[in-house]
Structure 1
Amino acid sequence: MESHSPSQSGAAGEDKKRHRPLGIEQLCFESAMTCFEGRLQFDPAIGPLTMKEVTNFISRTLEKTHNLKDVRETLSKSVEVWLWLTKCFAAAIPGLTTRSIGPLSAVNNHDNGVTPRESTKLIIHNYASLKEDLSLLSKLMHIARNLLVVPEPEIPQDLCAAVQFDQMLYQTIVLCINVTSKAYDGDVLEETARLKLTEITELYKKLLVTCLQQAHNWIAKNDRNKMTFWSTVLFDDDAMGDEQDPNSAIGDFRPDIARTEVRNWMERNSRFCDKAQKLLIEYEESISENSRTPPGHLPPISPLAWNWLPEGTTSVRADNFKDDEKITPVWKEDELNKFEQDRLYGRVSREVDTWWLRARDPNYDDWVVPMPTVEFAQQRTENSKANLVNRYAHSYRAEDQEGSVHSNEGAPLPDHSSEDGTQESHYPQEYNDDMIDDEDVDDDESYGEGPMSGFLTEVPNILDPKQIEALHMIIKSCILDNAGLALSRAGENLQKTRCRMFLALECGRSLLREILVFIAVWEKNEQSLIFQLTTQIVEAIHHSALIPYAWSSLRIPKDIISPAQTVLLRLVNNMFRARNTDPPLLDSKEHLRDVKLLHFLFIQFRSRIVPECVALMHLQAQIRSDEVPAVEFPVDSWDMERAKDGLQQFLELLTTVNELPETRVYLIEWEAAYELLVLLKGLEAGVPKKPLVELPRARQQGQPPSNEDREQHHEFDAGDPPPPPPPPPTLQDFAHQFPWAGIKGQILHILAGLLQPPPGRSSPGNPEVQKQIIRHNGIVSLLNCCVYDDHNRYARERVQVCLKWLMDGSDAANNFLRELVAMSPPPNLRPQPGPDGQPPTTTMRIDGIAGEVKVRMNAPSPPPWAAAGNSSANSGGGGGLALPSLASSTARLTEDLRNVVNTLPPIIQSQSQSSSAAVSSSSAAAGPSDLARSRSEDLLRDIITLADEAARLAIVGPHGHRADADETEEEDFM
């Protein structure tokens, strides 16, 4: 038996103290990474059999970190494991870059860089080695991700930062983006080459997704890591040169100063947790005697190296405060030492704080920005109509006109700041449409095409909704202000500070735009995880009162409302809808914050959205009446679709706000009924109603049959060539006929809600809204919506609800209809027989059928609508009157109007003529109350009949006939 001397035993004990024993999992994993790094650096050369074993070791380690908690914890606390992971990625990135997109020196060289076609050839040529390396790197990154899911995540988070694995993470993300964002032309490749290209691209995407997941785990609940990642993402050297643009939205933000202050904050907060410090010191002591032992010393980087280096070897400028010790921020303008100045201030960045004071909602502290008046809106609409062609012929507005968060939409424009840096005014009295040259505008930039700032901005264009979830979770983790979040020692909410950085820097604004457009491109609904995460991101921006600024930054000069703004509205609407289920208290800070946001958005609705949409409708009406040629229409159908989508989202938001009486009062106070009625009038004039049935056109005598008729009535011989198809219409051809489908229904739904009785009452209708509708001649607009329109189904039923509440308790509304009835001459209800003794024929319009229909009147007592149609047709359509004759006995209706009470009963379904007669005969024996109710019901039915006839015959062409009338075949309706 071999014996050991005491001296040998002591030496062994010291050696054991310096070198901790390795578990079998750690030993195998480190050995595999050693071989992998050697293969990547060709030192030594590793053969296929060895690489097979390396792959097996790494795969088994990945499986164990998934399933075994103790293995995961052991490996997560190993400094050697984190160092080997860093060394493997450091060795792999240069080789992957060279084999995928060319030499490192040409990656960022736009002039001499590798083209997508050359990159395609490289990838296909190096297919085998790329596939093997990318597969192993994905597994290693997956393991790194798993090692952060432990009970004490701050330990591996600090170790990861100490070995600079986070820097390898950034470089890997950039490489994956550079490869997958290239526009590879796979269609010109043969099938085998195309499959190889697709496979490598998918492996890069898989690695990118895992990197984002690892980044999310690395920053979780760690403010220093969040700030490190956030500053790396936002402070892009290429983009920061543009931040000094004097025409930027707010201006005076100095990103270089902000970056210095953020770095100083990270140095002051560079202290690791005690357990991580202990592990790092033990490792550094164990390897200090033999520096050649792999994987070597920790990188002596500043400002983190002081956590493990011997005292006195490096300067330490980290704060030495206790966790519960508070400090009061003090800003010394005359302090020359920047680090000391920032240390006394205590917060992250004075530059970010002062920017936020300028960029936030001007109404944040007090109501300093008023709501534009209806008179301003009217003038704004007239200006928009007059300047419509020029507005689209040039860019809409110079960037320097988009300063204030309330400025870009008309009423609330920012005045220039005074010399001392204070803003003089947010709202000038005049609205200026300054134009700039076309070449100064890059519309493509706002559509996700062209240059983008920040290395994460391209990610939404690369990944699909399932892959991209980690990106949204990272943004949410960095900026969402969760309830109960602890403040810093200086009393600062770091989540809000990072949110402000997000909007202050171009990289953050670009990333926000891309994640918003991502929802539109993939058509994600409210139940999807991506939509919910993005809603939380918008909620965080709302908490900092920066949605008005975000709205301005998402602006596209050529659009009434950009796609990103439309999605932002959807998210805000989703946010408000959640409030309706659990509304905040009226005197709470949350309620006031919501009202101020609603105030800003309604300003945009009044000052920009409605006037410019109405201007387009006005031009449609001019083209419809042949006053303007169709070629003068300045936009195409895509622009019209974007305008309609934005308008719909605004109306959706108003619908949500209208549901709660607490927020409905603001719409009533701001006189929202005006905008709704203006839109109804614009739609009525500019868009013909779409019938349910299109009758065939009658051919004039001697006119040859059309191709369509020949196809229906002629069997072609086998040798006959088919007729050539008509040329496809262009988008421009359809633009002036854009129907704005569904908009009327939304408007009528909102008006019905506004007309409801005040809270706590069931009758009468809201008197303030009734006055507003009458003041703006809204009754005519409502009646014109009653005829069937396939673009706006169920509009008639919504009009009935509006009329019920409009007449309920309103003498002015009832008097208007009495005067309307008095203008209607009594029609001749009995048809006169023709010369041959047969019933006469006449033309009439039938709801839902295009054109006028010839009918034979057989009944001795025609229905009221036929009489009205006959009377109106014989009188040339009523001349220029907007409302035609009433389709029933004027004398009887006038008598009913004298006797009926103002309060109308609930709306009932239409009844047949026989049931109506039965009600009339039984009413004689009824009491006064029953008689009043019966007459009220008759009156309401007569009003609806009047509305039908008004809508059918109100728009009269210049020659006494409707502009949209068609010639139809004669038909008999018995």
Structure 2
Amino acid sequence: MASNGGLEIDPVHVWKNDSIEERIFSAALICLEGHYMQSPVMGPQSIAKVMSIVSKTLEKTHTFKDVREVLSRNLRVWIWLRRAVCAAICDLNERSLGVRSEPLVPTKFIDITTPEVTALIIKNYAALKEALQMLNKLMHIARNLLVTTDPEVPQDLSAAVNFDQEVYEAICLCVNVTSKGIDGEMPEDEASRAKLNEITELYKKVLVTSLQKAHNWIAKNDRNKMAFWFRVFIESPDVDSNPGPEDRYEPVLDHPSLRCMHLRNEISDWLKRNSKMCSAAAAICKEYFDAQDEQQKNKWLPENRNLAWNYTPSNMWSFEPENYDEAAKVVSTWNEEETDKFEQDKAYGRVSHELDMWWDVARSPNASNWNLTMYPIDHVPERIKECEANLMQRYAAADLPEDHHESVEHAASDGNPEWQAQAHHQATPSYAPEYDEYEEDADDDDSYGEGPMTGLLTEVPNILDPKQIEALHMIIKSCILDSAGSGSTRFGENLQQTRCRIFLTTECGRNLLREMLVFIAVWEKDEQSLIFQISSQIIQAIHENSLIPYTWNALRSPKDIISPAQTVLLRLITYLSRTAFYPSKNYNPLPDAKAEDMEKALSHEDVRLSKMLNFLYSVFRSRIVPECVALMQIQGEVRKNRLDPADFPVDHWDLERAKDGLVQYLDFLYTIADIYPLRQHLVDWEAVYELLKVLEGLDVGVEKLPFPGARRPEPPATPSTTASTPQASSSSHPPPPPPPPPPLSDPPHEFPWSGIKGQVLSILAALLQPPPGQSSPGNPSVQLQIVQHNGIVALLNCCLYDDNNRFCRERTQLCLKWLMDGSPDASAFLQNLVQANQGAAVVRPPPPAPPPPAQQLLPGGAASSSASASASASASSTTSSSNHHVATAQTQTQTQAVPGEVRVQVRSASAPAVDGSSGGDEVEATAGGGIAAFKQRLSEQRSRSEELVNDLLALTVADKAGRLELAPDDGDETEDEFM
């Protein structure tokens, strides 16, 4: 259509050889453009006839390959198809959003209130339904025309007429309406709600079809892939189109961001240099271009500046395309002195110098350092204290005036100076930089990415369901997964990896990735689902670019210990660790740095895998475990009545997300521990330490839940909950109100962390196992680590029944089996416990000297101590060996001959004394009149201690030499059942 509104008539001879399908479909498209541009509007009979033609054409393109081949190579069909779609979108924008868009002018995301949009849609229901059905059919036909024997031809013709512009406009329209127009309150009357729902579903269908058309357009076409990437992540409708020369994208932690203007210009120059059409498509365009009258040529003609040199005189354009037939090997050079940006980029050859510089510092931290240094264990206790302080400060800051937030945030972000100093120096290994915890308002919860987020595709996961969204995931996979690409360019660049880096360096791309990951959690997709499988391939592409650490940091949430998106990312990594990431037979995580340059070493899968594991475990040690254990310790403070339950700093929802993240992390660690070549990393990093810390934290913070049949009786009803007495009913005062309904969940401070112990014990059992093919002995390094870190007591505590952690006793049996196998230290410690219990026929008085400061019983009844047996000096030689490790841990044990009870004394001044001496806590209890309650507590502890030792005896037998061994299995349980 000409600019003055008159019809533009193609020369008669260009239609001469067209088939009937081409002519009738083109005629219908011409009528549709006039109808939606209101010049003039057709009547109901005419529009019904046009709809019939479009429907028949759609059916033929579905069924007959020859019809698709003919229509897909007709440039006039593509021109009129774009014009009809453009007119329909302009009409839909006006009828749905009240703003009529202009052809060829990109539409912004429109901020319109829900009532206005809802009322407008209901008012224009009939016209909207007809237009949306027509638009969906037209987009279906465009999608089908790209499925031919040689899809490159229709792909190039579609690009030549800028049909991709209308695909973007259709997506933008659907997002504007479905995410901002109908997500609010529904109308009250049922008829209006039905109309609104029907229009919503039609918009979703158009969105799905548009994504499918985009997928077919970019399939196996690097130029179209890059053009699509450029549009949705760099020139998205809601991104500032005029950034300053030094503007940068949002930085991620300490990683510098790139200059977005440089990236924009360099990708634009690459598209100009690489806009080559296939010879068949170029000939079709040239034939049509030459047949047109100069005065009739207008904006609808295929004069895309980046493609027009293929079919127009080259002197019309300001640049010359490269010689694509050049066979000589070219060298990429970056000339800082070059003032002409296009020539500078042309000499470089690759997509973007700015992007390459960004990736050089954003990939795996300390890429040039081959030592897989780990966050030091000595810092973990201090980190736990810091996390506990940060949590309480966060709670205290919630009620402070606004002018106090700055000082609180500063105090919360002080952290460990040494570790923070490491985080700012690339020369020192730094894999888990200190976060500025809770740097945002405590009431702000951006865990799921709520609030305005830039990106044309970012809202799509919030609109579509799993079956509808498949095309979006396939588009991302097609553009970044190496196996879906065409190899390296003549400059040695992998375009799939380049697009993966663009995907993560732009804010739009990171927002979309976050929503795609959360989508898996919201819809609870399993590993067999297509969405999960495609998402795992997307994460595989990110890993191949050494960008898993960067991605992890980009997905963090200030409020969460581990954000929902990070949890899903870890779940995908866990799945890939069993499949695509599985180490090679000759796994070598540390190649010879002198023999290989850094670039070649990073391309080695073993190096990437080891560095990824190193990063993820450093996060586990420096953030996940300290944060979770800090929460458990605060729970313990509430249990000891040292903290008011109302002062507990987080709610149940936060705890659920923390537990989900911890569960997924433990699942990941078990997967790694089950793969022998990777297990050694966990052994070298002393993963036992964190696992024992979690067990100890659970014992401190969570009360063991008794057997379901023997749970504590409900407390008697209080007077406020009983029926009113006759005296009360006769009073003038009204009866008391009914009690409030019971809470939907337990209070946050009673959060049980269910199932965590079982996972920890499974990992410990896996670490203790001998190498594959051997049945004995257990891993000596892990055995020694458990003894040195007081792990035996933590394991024995797991023998006591806890309905929050079922089958723990069986898992503990596996751990003890491998712990005692070949470890004299562990066997001696356990033997001392049993002998002290069995030989205690007479109660000996306490020694005359004053005892050490206090004795601390284990939360379940056993005592907490190191793995020492110094009180049993007359034991066998294995006991002497155990005492050596006790000295290392600087602790001592003292077993007393009290029937049915084993005590292990430690240097602690905070625990109550349980012997006959007048300990401080006992005096305090007596002074307070709580003697009966104190005796009851001692009785409960004694019964639990007896249960602990009985469990230990049931698990062990004495060999001929009198040493303890694990009792043989009864055949009813196997290791696999509990792993």
TM-score, normalization by structure 2 = 0.79
The letter for the 1-side match of 2:669 is: L
Structure 2 CA distance for aligned equivalents of residues 889 and 536 of structure 1: 47
Q: Any conservation in 2 of the 1:329–1:344 contact (CA below 8 Å)?
A: yes
Of 476-485 and 104-113, more deviation after overlay is shown by 104-113
Structure 2 CA distance for aligned equivalents of residues 75 and 49 of structure 1: 26
The letter for the 2-side match of 1:76 is: S
Of 576-585 and 52-61, more deviation after overlay is shown by 576-585
**Residue of structure 2 in register with 1:930 after alignment:** none
2:679 pairs with 1:681: no
**Residue of structure 2 in register with 1:949 after alignment:** none
Q: Any conservation in 1 of the 2:232–2:457 contact (CA below 8 Å)?
A: yes
Any idea what SS the aligned residue of 2:296 has? coil
Q: Any conservation in 2 of the 1:249–1:553 contact (CA below 8 Å)?
A: no
Q: How many Å apart are 1:376 and its aligned residue?
A: 2.1
Q: How many Å apart are 1:562 and its aligned residue?
A: 0.5
**Residue of structure 2 in register with 1:959 after alignment:** none
**Residue of structure 2 in register with 1:615 after alignment:** 630
Any idea what SS the aligned residue of 2:750 has? coil
Task: Note closer, same or farther for the CA distance 1:554–1:411 as it changes in structure 2 (3 Å cut).
Answer: farther
Task: Note closer, same or farther for the CA distance 1:72–1:883 as it changes in structure 2 (3 Å cut).
Answer: same
Out of 796, 799, 810, the position equivalent to 1:783 is: 796
**Residue of structure 2 in register with 1:651 after alignment:** 666
Q: Any conservation in 2 of the 1:352–1:501 contact (CA below 8 Å)?
A: yes
| Identity score, percent | 49
2:62 pairs with 1:66: yes
**Residue of structure 2 in register with 1:502 after alignment:** 503
Task: Note closer, same or farther for the CA distance 1:111–1:303 as it changes in structure 2 (3 Å cut).
Answer: closer
Q: How many Å apart are 1:594 and its aligned residue?
A: 1.4
Task: Note closer, same or farther for the CA distance 1:473–1:624 as it changes in structure 2 (3 Å cut).
Answer: same
**Residue of structure 2 in register with 1:941 after alignment:** none
Of 517-526 and 180-189, more deviation after overlay is shown by 180-189
The letter for the 2-side match of 1:899 is: A
In the TM superposition, 1:261-300 aligns within 5 A as 261-288=266-293, 291=296, 298-300=301-303
Q: How many Å apart are 1:685 and its aligned residue?
A: 1.4
Q: Any conservation in 2 of the 1:822–1:894 contact (CA below 8 Å)?
A: no
Any idea what SS the aligned residue of 1:615 has? helix
**Residue of structure 2 in register with 1:38 after alignment:** 34
The letter for the 2-side match of 1:635 is: V
Structure 1 CA distance for aligned equivalents of residues 951 and 33 of structure 2: 97
Q: Any conservation in 2 of the 1:236–1:507 contact (CA below 8 Å)?
A: no
Out of 282, 291, 303, the position equivalent to 2:306 is: 303
The letter for the 2-side match of 1:89 is: V
**Residue of structure 1 in register with 2:889 after alignment:** none
Q: How many Å apart are 1:378 and its aligned residue?
A: 2.9
Q: How many Å apart are 1:212 and its aligned residue?
A: 0.3
Q: How many Å apart are 1:627 and its aligned residue?
A: 1.7
**Residue of structure 2 in register with 1:357 after alignment:** 360
The letter for the 2-side match of 1:346 is: G
2:821 pairs with 1:821: no
In the TM superposition, 1:396-545 aligns within 5 A as 413=420, 423=426, 425=428, 427=430, 438-439=440-441, 443-482=444-483, 485-545=486-546
Structure 1 CA distance for aligned equivalents of residues 954 and 32 of structure 2: 98
Out of 664, 679, 689, the position equivalent to 1:664 is: 679
Structure 2 CA distance for aligned equivalents of residues 110 and 86 of structure 1: 20
Q: How many Å apart are 1:245 and its aligned residue?
A: 5.8
Task: Note closer, same or farther for the CA distance 1:896–1:281 as it changes in structure 2 (3 Å cut).
Answer: closer
Of 173-182 and 892-901, more deviation after overlay is shown by 892-901
Of 240-249 and 737-746, more deviation after overlay is shown by 240-249
Q: Any conservation in 2 of the 1:362–1:368 contact (CA below 8 Å)?
A: no
Structure 2 CA distance for aligned equivalents of residues 283 and 469 of structure 1: 37
Q: How many Å apart are 1:818 and its aligned residue?
A: 2.3
Structure 1 CA distance for aligned equivalents of residues 186 and 902 of structure 2: 65
Gaps of 5+ in 1: 1-14, 712-720, 830-846, 849-865, 912-974
2:370 pairs with 1:332: no
**Residue of structure 2 in register with 1:861 after alignment:** none
In the TM superposition, 1:47-446 aligns within 5 A as 47-104=43-100, 114-182=112-180, 184=182, 185-236=184-235, 238-239=238-239, 243=248, 249-288=254-293, 291=296, 298-322=301-325, 324-367=327-370, 370-391=373-394, 393=396, 413=420, 423=426, 425=428, 427=430, 438-439=440-441, 443-446=444-447
Q: How many Å apart are 1:327 and its aligned residue?
A: 1.6
The letter for the 2-side match of 1:382 is: K
**Residue of structure 2 in register with 1:744 after alignment:** 757
In the TM superposition, 1:675-824 aligns within 5 A as 675-695=690-710, 726-728=739-741, 734-824=747-837
Gaps of 5+ in 2: 1-10, 399-404, 590-603, 725-733, 843-859, 862-897, 904-913, 915-934, 974-979
Q: How many Å apart are 1:102 and its aligned residue?
A: 1.4
**Residue of structure 2 in register with 1:597 after alignment:** 612
Q: Any conservation in 1 of the 2:431–2:615 contact (CA below 8 Å)?
A: no
Output one character per residue of 1:52-93: Cα deviation in whole Å (capped at 9) or x when no partner. 111111001101101100001111111011001110122122
Structure 1 CA distance for aligned equivalents of residues 937 and 487 of structure 2: 78
Structure 2 CA distance for aligned equivalents of residues 475 and 466 of structure 1: 16
Q: How many Å apart are 1:45 and its aligned residue?
A: 3.3
Q: How many Å apart are 1:748 and its aligned residue?
A: 0.6
Structure 1 CA distance for aligned equivalents of residues 953 and 322 of structure 2: 91
Q: Any conservation in 2 of the 1:65–1:146 contact (CA below 8 Å)?
A: yes
Structure 1 CA distance for aligned equivalents of residues 431 and 168 of structure 2: 46
Structure 1 CA distance for aligned equivalents of residues 954 and 436 of structure 2: 59
Q: Any conservation in 1 of the 2:355–2:502 contact (CA below 8 Å)?
A: yes
The letter for the 2-side match of 1:115 is: T
The letter for the 2-side match of 1:121 is: A
Q: Any conservation in 1 of the 2:395–2:647 contact (CA below 8 Å)?
A: no
* Equivalences, count: 838
Q: How many Å apart are 1:313 and its aligned residue?
A: 2.9
Q: How many Å apart are 1:566 and its aligned residue?
A: 0.4
Structure 2 CA distance for aligned equivalents of residues 454 and 875 of structure 1: 60
Q: Any conservation in 2 of the 1:234–1:507 contact (CA below 8 Å)?
A: yes
Any idea what SS the aligned residue of 2:708 has? coil
Q: How many Å apart are 1:769 and its aligned residue?
A: 0.6
Determine which structure has more spread, i.e. the larger CA radius of gyration: 1
**Residue of structure 1 in register with 2:938 after alignment:** 876
Output one character per residue of 1:518-543: Cα deviation in whole Å (capped at 9) or x when no partner. 11111111111111111111110000
TM-score, normalization by structure 1 = 0.79
Q: Any conservation in 1 of the 2:761–2:812 contact (CA below 8 Å)?
A: yes
Task: Note closer, same or farther for the CA distance 1:437–1:790 as it changes in structure 2 (3 Å cut).
Answer: closer
Structure 2 CA distance for aligned equivalents of residues 415 and 733 of structure 1: 41
**Residue of structure 1 in register with 2:894 after alignment:** none
Task: Note closer, same or farther for the CA distance 1:41–1:651 as it changes in structure 2 (3 Å cut).
Answer: same
Q: Any conservation in 2 of the 1:219–1:225 contact (CA below 8 Å)?
A: yes
**Residue of structure 1 in register with 2:550 after alignment:** 549
Q: How many Å apart are 1:425 and its aligned residue?
A: 4.4
Structure 1 CA distance for aligned equivalents of residues 326 and 709 of structure 2: 77
Q: Any conservation in 1 of the 2:387–2:627 contact (CA below 8 Å)?
A: yes
Structure 2 CA distance for aligned equivalents of residues 736 and 216 of structure 1: 49
Output one character per residue of 1:944-967: Cα deviation in whole Å (capped at 9) or x when no partner. xxxxxxxxxxxxxxxxxxxxxxxx
**Residue of structure 1 in register with 2:23 after alignment:** 27
Task: Note closer, same or farther for the CA distance 1:817–1:699 as it changes in structure 2 (3 Å cut).
Answer: closer
Any idea what SS the aligned residue of 2:263 has? helix
Q: Any conservation in 2 of the 1:127–1:200 contact (CA below 8 Å)?
A: yes
Output one character per residue of 1:756-787: Cα deviation in whole Å (capped at 9) or x when no partner. 11334211111111101011111111111112
Q: How many Å apart are 1:111 and its aligned residue?
A: 13
Task: Note closer, same or farther for the CA distance 1:354–1:393 as it changes in structure 2 (3 Å cut).
Answer: farther
Q: Any conservation in 2 of the 1:94–1:104 contact (CA below 8 Å)?
A: yes
The letter for the 2-side match of 1:553 is: A
Q: Any conservation in 2 of the 1:360–1:549 contact (CA below 8 Å)?
A: yes
Structure 2 CA distance for aligned equivalents of residues 347 and 140 of structure 1: 37
